[in-house]
Chain A
Amino acid sequence: MIQIEYILIVSAVMMFAGIFGFFTRRSTLAILLSIELMLNATDLNFAVINRLMHTGGHEGYFFTLFSIAISAAESAVAIAIMINIYRQLKDTTADKLSKLKW
């Protein structure tokens, strides 16, 4: 069986990669991808920590399922918004989308 620390390292790497991507990428699509990456890191943590602390239980897996469902819905909405923004402004760069600032 794989040591639990290894899996946690993987999820931590995914998490920080997501955060890094979120702050550094300028394309909204890339930012959305980074968010997905962070969500996946947490899903992984749910599953691993369920196995570690409640062996035989299923709560962590269910949470993972919920989380996946919600993130799917969220990306659908986000992409829909992005398509609309693109139609309006012909651009989806995060820096340019500052029309609602005040």
Chain B
Amino acid sequence: MDYQYTLLILCLPIVSFLILGIGGKWLSHKAAGLIGTLSIGTVAVLSYYTAFHYFAERGADGTFASIVPINFEWLPFYVGNLHFDMGILLDPISVMMLIVISTVSLMVHIYSFGYMHGERGFQRYYAFLSLFTMSMLGLVVATNIFQMYMFWELVGVCSYLLIGFYFTEKPAIAASKKAFIVTRFADLGFLVGILVFGYYTGSFSFDFTENFQYAAGALHGVAPDAAKAIAAGGFILPTALFLMFIGGAGKSAMFPLHIWLPDAMEGPTPVSALIHAATMVVAGVFQVARMFPMWIQYAPETLHYVAWIGAFTAFYAAAVACAQSDIKRVLAFSTISQIAFMMVALGVCTEMTTGHEHVGSVGYMASMFHLFTHAMFKATLFLCAGCIIHAVHSNEMSAMGGMRKYMPVTNWTFLIATLAISGIPPFSGFFSKDEILSASFAYSPVMGWVMTGIAAMTAFYMFRVYYGIFWGTENKQLHEELKAHGHFGEAPLVMTAPLVLLTLFTVFCGWALPGSFGSFVSADGQAYNIHLDPQIAITSVVIACISIGLATWIYIRSSQPVAERLKAAMPHLHEWAYRRFYIDEIYQFVTHRIIFAYISRPIAWFDRHVVDGTLNGLASGANYVGESIRPLQSGRLQQYAYVFLLGVVVLFFIMII
């Protein structure tokens, strides 16, 4: 099978970006939207076609081959034979990501017709969406870590541009800058990691066989630079991989670099669905998965640190999500928590082989599976939230309540996605979460119980927000007012259709895939049949049901005495959680009070007084000298002649002597 055409998957969105970006001014909203949507639609068709063909052929050894249809050397580094390639790599996880990105992106493109209707900058919006889709697709099909880094930065730029889409509003500007600076700061770690990795392993490529040979050869003293390779095997590679993980942690909002994601909700809601829930924020997970063979081979202990960082992040975000009142914030924190689940799943892996006896690598499959299902149900949740915000013009739960009567389709899709994220069978989230839990239990019971507890919290806060929107205390006054204006009720078909389609994925992709997800994606490529561990599955479902029951008991009624009493009983805890445990304030303190005051200010003083002072001194010195010799040029002819005469006399005497 020839996969040359996959280049089109990258080219079509960039073409539509250029058309919309340059010619958008002269296009009507409808034409601009159609151009963007058509190009993404074609990309989606091509992606499904690619996936269909790719997964149809299994190699002789039972794995799916890694195919590189295009790869060319772009820039040589002139150091140690390193070069920067550009190309396309098709392997199970990249093909899976093609499906995820193109599906969610297409849904968001269609949905935005309704959501962004009549908005100023509609063409610009679609141009950025196209650019983002291209960058994200480029990121997942990268053949080497450097190409990945390039597209990684591009998605960061797109995220910045789209968060700051409403660039006349202060919070949006601040949020976009915050997102860009925090992720850029983390990406510094990524870049250093890449360079260290490349220097010590002699390759940027994702084809690690060469790296393994390099290191193995070093042990027998035949590698070109044995000392370098031995150092790499010891502590260099874990360091390099962890530095790369810091970049991934920035993108994937791992604690303590998560602070940008909740603020990123200032962007348009479809953007939050596409970038800050389904695709870009999982880039960190994808990066760790890409480097997985290296992690397992050279840095297994460090990988477990990643797991614990993920577990802490999951807990922290779940705790904060329980107290937020802005529905997009709740969803943002739940995204952080769910991505942390994926990180944990990767982090608890201990070996490469799958199979029934070896449970050490289930986490890899579970992580990718959860990435896939999460993208679908979280996009659904965000798009539902968009419909609701579109209806009530507010993000606060206090403006909602009782919405089930007005928005039946949104209600049902939101409920199904909520059930999926809570881990209730037969929805997709149950299967992926269950695999994560069994991987965690296989690693250590402590991790297993911690993750089960966090899964229970997930169910609780998701149902809290569900009841807060669709049941609970209705803001009748506001709803009557909105009804009087005549724009209140279910969103148009162009917005509800994507919801229903994504919900279908959520309902079916857990159990209806031919074989199962594990037969497509697994750590060593061998088909892995997902089988439920009854003990873990029953425990998690029972615990999830208990938390759902608890949330129902507390939040379903129109008055909520229990919630009020809980809040009154633990005012500090509620306040702390509502303020996100003051992490933003700590950052503010560290940056403003410590870094700015004690580092930046002295540096600024040095710059202003010493560096600038030297140059200003030079300039004023030259000025002074000029002023003082200026009278020589008096313009008086006879004075010049005197000087001339004086010179002649002096020369005369010199010659005589």
Contacts and interface: CB of A to CB of B under 8 A. Distances in A.
Interface in A3-28: 19, 22-23
A101 B642 contact: no
A100 B645 CA distance: 22
Contacts of A101: 633-635
Interface string A65-98: 0000000000000000000000000000011011
Contact of A95 (B630, B636, B641, B645): B636
Interface string B627-656: 000100111111001100100000000000
A99 B635 CA distance: 7
Contact of B633 (A23, A31, A94, A102): A102
Contacts of A100: 635
B637 A94 contact: yes
Contacts of A31: 637-638
A3 B657 CA distance: 31
Contacts of B642: 23
Contacts of A97: 635, 637
Contacts of B635: 97-102
Contacts of B634: 98, 101
Interface residues of A, number: 12
A94 B642 CA distance: 14
A19 B630 CA distance: 27
Contacts of A98: 634-636
Of A99, A100, A101, A102, the most chain B CB neighbours within 10 A belong to A101
A102 B641 CA distance: 17
B208 to A, nearest CB: 72
A4 to B, nearest CB: 24
B87 to A, nearest CB: 65
B636 A22 contact: no
Of B635, B641, B645, the most chain A CB neighbours within 10 A belong to B635
Contacts of A94: 636-638
B633 A22 contact: no
Contacts of B645: 19, 23
B641 A22 contact: yes
A84 B576 CA distance: 90
A39 B645 CA distance: 17
B102 to A, nearest CB: 71
B4 to A, nearest CB: 71
Contacts of A95: 636, 638
Q: Is the interface of B mostly helix, strand, loop or mixed?
A: helix
A100 B640 CA distance: 13
A22 B630 contact: no
A56 to B, nearest CB: 33
A19 B645 CA distance: 10
A31 B637 CA distance: 10
B533 to A, nearest CB: 93
Contacts of A23: 638, 641-642, 645
A42 B634 CA distance: 30
A98 B641 CA distance: 14
A75 to B, nearest CB: 16
A22 B637 CA distance: 10
Nearest to A101: B635
A89 to B, nearest CB: 13
Contacts of A22: 638, 641
A29 B332 CA distance: 94
Contacts of B630: 102
A22 B636 CA distance: 13
Contacts of A102: 630, 633, 635
A101 B641 CA distance: 14
Interface in A25-57: 31
A95 B637 CA distance: 7
A29 to B, nearest CB: 13
A97 B635 CA distance: 7
A41 B634 CA distance: 30
A45 B212 CA distance: 100
A23 B637 CA distance: 9
A97 B637 CA distance: 8
Interface string B599-642: 00000000000000000000000000000001001111110011
Contacts of B636: 94-95, 98
A99 B634 CA distance: 9
Nearest to A22: B641
A22 B634 CA distance: 18
A98 B637 CA distance: 8
A23 B634 CA distance: 15
A92 B497 CA distance: 95
A22 B641 CA distance: 9
A102 B636 CA distance: 12
A99 B636 CA distance: 9
A72 B642 CA distance: 25
A98 B638 CA distance: 11
Nearest to A95: B636
Of B638, B641, B645, the most chain A CB neighbours within 10 A belong to B638
A22 B635 CA distance: 16
A9 B471 CA distance: 127
A24 to B, nearest CB: 8
A94 B634 CA distance: 12
A19 B542 CA distance: 120
A101 B630 CA distance: 10
A98 to B, nearest CB: 3
A98 B630 CA distance: 14
A74 B634 CA distance: 25
B639 to A, nearest CB: 9
A100 to B, nearest CB: 6
Contacts of A19: 645
Nearest to B637: A94
A102 B637 CA distance: 13
Interface string B123-134: 000000000000
Given A31-B637, A102-B635, 10 more contacts: A23-B638, A23-B642, A94-B637, A94-B638, A95-B638, A98-B635, A99-B635, A100-B635, A101-B633, A102-B630
5 contacts: A22-B638, A31-B637, A94-B636, A102-B630, A102-B633
Interface of A: 19, 22-23, 31, 94-95, 97-102
- A-B pairs with the 6 shortest C-beta distances? A98-B635, A101-B635, A94-B637, A101-B633, A102-B633, A98-B636
